[in-house]
Amino acid sequence: MKICILSRSSSIYSTKRLVEASKARGHEVEVIDTLKCYMDITSKKPMVHFQDRILDDFDAIIPRIGASITFYGTAVIRQFEMMGVSSLNESVAISRARDKLRSLQLLSRKGIGLPITGFAHSTKMTQELIKLVGGAPLVIKLLEGTQGKGVVLAETDGAAESVIDAFREMDANILVQEFIKEARGSDIRCFVIGDEVVASMMRTAKEGEFRSNLHRGGTAQVIEITKEERQAALDATKALGLNVAGVDLLRSSRGPLIMEVNSSPGLNGIETATGKDVAGMIIEYLEKMDKDSTETKGRG
């Protein structure tokens, strides 16, 4: 196969590992900067251009689209899809996962466990919103935040009101969620490929911090997840239409609760913690996708 990895930089750990894994399995691979692609939208023959080239010779793409370029990144993926190129995760599934509100609504519709979550526009509804999630302590999240940025723990109702009102003054869209005390500053990252959880780790926040993100100084260790947690991760991935995902969940007194489903999960933390060749598993899955696609076209 000839594989295109859409990534802003070839030096990022996840991108490097995917390049290594592709070459190790005998594939030709190239890293293309998503933002340097351009497209002729009105052409009868859809194409993606890069510098002075037309990118019409790839069998599959692996999108590594950062949250800040979701809009343009998914447009590039859609153009490749129109050209008949397989994408590890489809553009529409990435869009679903990146929209925190929409993703939670989709998960809720499927009956998947979630923290109690509130969303409102009017500043007059602040106290009602706080009551809705059970009062303080509670978590306030910016819809556009990633890697723990834009996430605040309010320990009193008064503090929650102040933070919510401050965000509203900035015209920011926010979610208000219950704080799961029994999680004790830890969450579980399940790495899903296809219909299997191939690796999992528990991330624990550093002292004095409630966010367990590794980028914020959290630590990770291998963990054996329960059958219920495994099923929740698989159900969440399927609900959003993703093939590969990093599913973050909390252990609570009422079972696993999904916090977020990441469509471009990083490989550094999970490979370091588990010692597994997750990049190799991704390329193996991409090979299966390509084979299935070829067979389908052959029958057609």
Write down the pLDDT at residue 114.
Answer: 97
CATH number at residue 228: 3.30.470.20
Asked if 70 and 82 sit in the same domain, the reply is yes
Q: Token pair for residue 94?
A: 């990435």
pLDDT at 23: 98
The pLDDT of residue 229 is 98
How sure is the predictor about 299, in pLDDT bands with cuts at 50, 70 and 90? low
Q: Please tell me whether residues 144 and 157 are part of one structural domain.
A: yes
- Rounded mean pLDDT, 33-61: 92
Q: Are residues 202 and 230 in the same domain?
A: yes
Same domain, 59 and 72: yes
Query: Is residue 209 helix, strand or coil?
Result: coil
pLDDT of residue 281: 98
pLDDT at 263: 97
In a domain, 138, yes or no: yes
In a domain, 106, yes or no: no
Asked if 79 and 16 sit in the same domain, the reply is yes
Closest by CA to 138, choosing from 187, 102, 181, is: 181
| Judgement on whether residues 124 and 211 belong to the same structural domain of the protein | no
Whether residue 7 lies inside any domain: the answer is yes
- Reported as a single tens digit per residue, the pLDDT across 143-161 is 875 555 778 899 999 999 9
Say how many domains are in the chain: 3
Residues 22 and 87 in one domain: yes
Query: At which of 137, 161, 179 does a domain end?
Result: 179
Question: How do residues 223-274 score in pLDDT, each as one tens digit?
Answer: 999 999 999 999 999 999 999 999 999 999 999 999 999 999 999 999 999 9
Within this chain, do residues 23 and 68 fall inside the same structural domain, yes or no?
yes
CATH number, domain of 149, equals 3.30.1490.20
> Are 203 and 244 within one domain?
yes
Q: Which residue matches tokens 């015209």?
A: 171
Identify the domain containing residue 127 by its residue range: 117-179
Beta strands in the chain (DSSP E): 2-6, 28-32, 37-39, 48-50, 53-54, 60-63, 86-87, 117-118, 138-142, 151-154, 174-178, 186-193, 196-204, 219-222, 244-252, 255-262
What would the two tokens of residue 48 be? 């993606």
Which residue carries 């037309």 as its tokens? 54
* Residue pLDDT, tens place only, 56-110: 999 999 999 998 999 999 999 999 999 999 999 999 999 999 999 999 999 999 9
Q: Confirm whether 297 is domain-assigned.
A: no
CB atoms within 10 A of CB 131: 11
204 burial via Cβ count (<10 Å: 0-12, 13-18, 19+): middle
Q: Please say whether the beta carbons of 50 and 274 come within 8 A.
A: no
Reported as a pLDDT band with limits 50, 70 and 90, residue 210 is low
> What strand order describes the sheet that includes 48-50?
37-39, 48-50, 53-54
On whether residue 57 sits in a domain, the answer given is yes
Count of other CB atoms within 10 angstroms of residue 173: 15
CB contact at 8 A, 200 and 187 = no
Start-to-end CA distance of the chain, whole Å, equals 21
pLDDT value at residue 44: 81
* Neighbour-count burial of 253, counting CB atoms closer than 10 A to its CB (0-12 exposed, 13-18 middle, 19+ buried): exposed
